[in-house]
Amino acid sequence: MSFSPLTSACSSLGVKSSSLIVQLGFHTAENNKFPGAFVSSPKRTKTKKFSIACSSTDPLLVKAARGDPVSRPPTWMMRQAGRYMAVYRKLAEKHPSFRERSETTDLIVEISLQPWEAFRPDGVIIFSDILTPLPAFGVPFDIEEVRGPVIQSPIRFEDDLKALHPIDLEKLHFVGESLKILRQEVGGHAAVLGFVGAPWTIATYIVEGGTTRTYTTIKSMCHTAPNLLRTLLSHLTKAISEYIIYQVESGAHCIQIFDSWGGQLPPDMWEQWSKPYITEIVSVVRNKCPKTPLVLYINGNGGLLERMKGTGVDVIGLDWTVDMADARKRLGSDISVQGNVDPAYLFSPLSAVTKEIQRVVKCAGPRSHILNLGHGVLVGTPEEAVAHFFDVSKSLNYDGSSQNHSMEESKLLV
């Protein structure tokens, strides 16, 4: 079977003579050494504080994030727990408040484990929200059915800063408790993922008072009240850094930083108003948790890839508008990448999903790649398509010789 279009699209990537063997026979959970794949979770035991050191027994995802040799690309999905799953919708009917679902330990754990029990991804991300820590440092918020998140007292003037205080991690105990339980539930079979919002993205909500399509208030503040905005961003940087360390010490193997609205800034503005604060977070976390991989994801990041690499993170998350081969060429082989299948592919015939996964994995090369979507799972996505995505990903197998070579002239065998 010929894949010449793939070869031509992904032939100038930076490593040589690698090959990828794709076996299209789907594996069951037992075949993938996950006994009891669709059995309910074991009884929970007493939690503990987790070590942040790494070892040869680290989950596949952690190894790929660090650039270590792996047998196949580890796979998870952003928003892999959510409304596309019937079991989640049933739970949401019983607990209609998102704040309740995302701030109650038992519900967080149950929801986070729903895709684990259904699909066995290589990463289990905690069910939470980037705004969850806001009340812990002085910014209360509500979530309304139509408007989404609403901050009744946005910060737009110097006096508004008085409401801020250092982050009180005790108010986020449900996050720490949930991560500890998730770490025990999945054992060594998957990485437990925590996440935060980047300072700029969190600031957009705090300044605008909620979601926005134009970002005019905060963008104008860059020029009309730059000192006020820098003070806010610096406070957020300190709080987010402490929150990441708390998540790692509670059991998270890996942390993803979402600068969701960083792509709304021109590149030179992102360089000034977002990058320095992310870089500071990376520095602080590196000092405390040197072995914990950090992923940076920006929606609409095609014009920012090289700048993102400059923050010092371990993994660059790519959205689906970026060509994987081009991203590899621009970023080089000394950093890992994550992504980047278009979420809309999951509404296509399963054969199309298979081909797209093969294309993305081939273009990413046989090392330092975490397979994911280029954005979160869309509402209405067929569960069977998600299951197929994970089945195909687990059937992939890197040729052992490819681990010691580069991605140039890579071949995809079926």
Q: What pLDDT is recorded for position 101?
A: 97
Enter the pTM of the model: 0.86
112 sits in which H/E element: helix 105-119
Whose structure tokens read 């108003």? 273
Domain assignment present for residue 225? The answer is yes
Cis peptide before 31 (omega within 30 of 0): no
Domain assignment present for residue 413? The answer is no
Long-range contact pairs involving 214-221 (C-beta distance under 8 Å, separation at least 24): 215/261, 215/264, 217/156, 219/265, 219/269, 221/156
Q: What is the pLDDT of residues 39-55, one digit of tens each?
A: 333 334 344 565 545 45
The Cα diameter of the chain in Å comes to: 67
Q: What is the pLDDT of residues 295-327, one digit of tens each?
A: 999 999 999 999 999 999 999 999 999 999 999
Q: Which two tokens stand for residue 36?
A: 């009891």
Arithmetic mean of pLDDT, 384-409: 77
Q: What pLDDT is recorded for position 399?
A: 76
**CATH number assigned to the domain comprising residue 202:** 3.20.20.210
Domain assignment present for residue 43? The answer is no
Q: Any bridge partners for residue 193, and if so which?
A: 125, 254
Domain assignment present for residue 272? The answer is yes
Whose structure tokens read 């979601």? 211
Distance CA 257, CA 248 (A): 13
Q: What pLDDT is recorded for position 405?
A: 44
Domain assignment present for residue 23? The answer is no
Domain assignment present for residue 68? The answer is no
Structural domain boundaries enclosing 268: 74-397
Number of domains into which the chain is organized? 1
